Amino acid sequence: MNLLMGYTYLIPILFASYLIGSIPFSWILVKVFYKRDLRSVGSGNIGATNAFRVNRGISFLVLLLDIFKSVLVILILEKMCAHKSIMYLTGFTVVLGHIFPVWFLFKGGKGIAPTIGVVLSINIKIFFLFIITWAVVFMIFRYSSLSSIISIISSCIYCAVTENFNSSIFYIAMSIIVLIKHRDNVIRMINGTEKKLF
């Protein structure tokens, strides 16, 4: 089918995808424009939500850039005629890079933005389900973390039902890691200490 099916080509592609995913746009932009270390702000998380606590405009730019990381990688693979399951796998690797960046001792964001980029690039129906679910839950509860958790779960179920086995496995694995990264948010919501975005 194409060269990507060989491990010789797949391994460097996955490594490059990880490095692209690990680019800490939120930390870079906050550092450049506000001279602050995002790790010392709010939750200390390197992601768009925490960047929102510094500046709303900068957080929107961070969100777009983090989404673009996945979109870029998957569009390149699409041009190379890669199988959909390979696209999900490389998208998964981008998300891993975002969550576990080597530059910050593997302590990064929570993976929501690059996950959105994955489904935007591969399955537009899952993308719209994710976005609509997030928006509805957020309008009701005002918790970004809860909105993300429910969106991940709903999109994961839809993917399992509509996609082939290999694609579903990669998306489900990616979703599980993203959900695990939200465990502290779940604990804070249970304790009533989770902060609403606004």
CB 77 within 8 A of CB 4: yes
Between 104 and 3, the more confident residue is: 104
Question: Does residue 196 sit within a domain?
Answer: no
Q: pLDDT for 116-127, tens place per residue?
A: 999 999 999 999
How many domains are there within the chain? 1
Residue 197 counted as domain residue: no
pLDDT at 57 over 50: yes
Q: Is residue 154 part of a domain?
A: yes
Secondary-structure breakdown of the chain: helix, strand, coil percentages, each rounded to the nearest 5: 75, 0, 25
**Mean per-residue pLDDT for 11-22?**
95
Q: Provide the residue range defining the domain that includes 178.
A: 3-191
User: pTM for the whole thing?
Assistant: 0.92
Q: Is 135 left (phi over 0), alpha (psi -120 to 50) or beta?
A: alpha
- What does the pLDDT read at residue 6? 57
Distant-in-sequence, close-in-space partners of 78: CB < 8 Å, separation ≥ 6: 87, 121
- For the stretch 21-45, pLDDT in tens is 999 999 999 999 999 999 999 888 9
> Is the pLDDT assigned to residue 146 strictly greater than 70?
yes
